[in-house]
Amino acid sequence: MTALDYETIRYALADGVATITLDRPEVLNSLNARMRRELTAALAQASQEARAILLTGAGRAFCAGQDLGDARDVASVDLESLILEEYAPLVRAIAEAPVPVVAAVNGVAAGAGANLALAADLVLAGHSAQFLQAFARIGLIPDAGGSYLLPRLIGRARAMGLCLLAEPLDAGKAADWGLIWAAVPDAELDAAALAIARRLAAGPTVAFRLLKTAMRGAGPAETTLADQLALEARLQGEAGRSRDFQEGVAAFLEKRPPRFEGR
Ligand code: T3D
């Protein structure tokens, strides 16, 4: 699948940033089977050719989660297989992308749509955006990584409140709680997110890839301090062998901006 085949998303590559726009605004960019396939393919493509990925939505929403109108018999669908075969790879394509992923949440992000955004490395939202763990409204549990990410990001009490009550959380509060990086005025969201993505794309992307791996391994339930220190050492060893590290030190000593190449 190439960018030319995409029907449900838009894909553009410029200045090292792959911008992926969910593009079914008439249904608030909800995810049908084709969009899941295209988004997974686009993330793989971007991981190969970009140095940062920017994920956003067309129209007034970021993503309303599963397309509840997608042609299928809801009663007979095997959700376990659907999640394992389609949603899990999508979440991992975002969380484990070898380059930083920035989500620009331009409006409501609901259900799996919220959790795809939260799987990104840096989440920026417009003030009018909302995060909604909508699952309980339709008798489901949080998926697309929500049950993993939410307690880690905001603690169990807030995670449980959001999921049990399934009430929208506005962008300002999401930022206050540490669910996202920042909330910005709606009119400034696109420019602010692009500026961050460009800055990351011009950064030491070897180190960024390694720090993503280090952060994934961190957390009280996953590892001990000793394990994490050993992991940091191994990953830092790899970072230390990169050209970008050499350039970073040289630039510091020469009092000039670094020119990172991602090698
Ligand atoms: O297969 C599985 O089910 C398992 C996978 C689960 C993963 C999940 O993501 S489960 C959660 C699914 N998502 C939701 O439950 C959210 C559903 N949407 C909403 O609750 C509301 O639309 C919003 C709170 C997100 C926004 O409300 P509002 O009032 O701003 O907009 P609206 O009028 O409800 O929606 C506008 C249109 O988009 C409307 O179509 P229309 O009437 O103009 O023709 C609406 O039907 C459509 N739309 C919104 N969300 C979805 C959707 N169409 C299909 N699927 C959607 N998820």
- 82 CA to middle of ligand 1, Å? 18
Q: What is the pTM of this model?
A: 0.92
- 261 CA to middle of ligand 1, Å? 42
Q: Is the CB of 13 under 6 A from ligand 1?
A: no
- Percent helix, strand and coil across the chain, each to the nearest 5: 50, 15, 30
User: Residue 139: which pLDDT band, with cuts at 50, 70 and 90?
Assistant: confident
Q: Are 72 and 37 in contact (CB under 8 A)?
A: no
Kindly report the backbone phi and psi dihedral angles of residue 123, in degrees, each rounded to the nearest multiple of 5, phi listed first.
-115, 125
The beta-strand segments (E) located in 135-195 are 169-170, 182-184
User: Residue 226: which pLDDT band, with cuts at 50, 70 and 90?
Assistant: low
**Ligand 1 atom 31 nearest Cα:** 28
Determine the pLDDT at residue 233: 62
- 109 CA to middle of ligand 1, Å? 10
Task: Read off the pLDDT of residues 7-50 as tens digits, 9 standing for 90 and up.
Answer: 999 999 999 999 999 999 999 999 999 999 999 999 999 999 99
Three-state secondary structure of 201-259: HCCCHHHHHHHHHHHHHCCCCCCCHHHHHHHHHHHHHHHHCCHHHHHHHHHHHCCCCCC
**Ligand 1 atom 50 nearest Cα:** 64
Task: Read off the pLDDT of residues 166-183 as tens digits, 9 standing for 90 and up.
Answer: 999 999 999 999 999 999
Q: Is the CB of 79 under 6 A from ligand 1?
A: yes
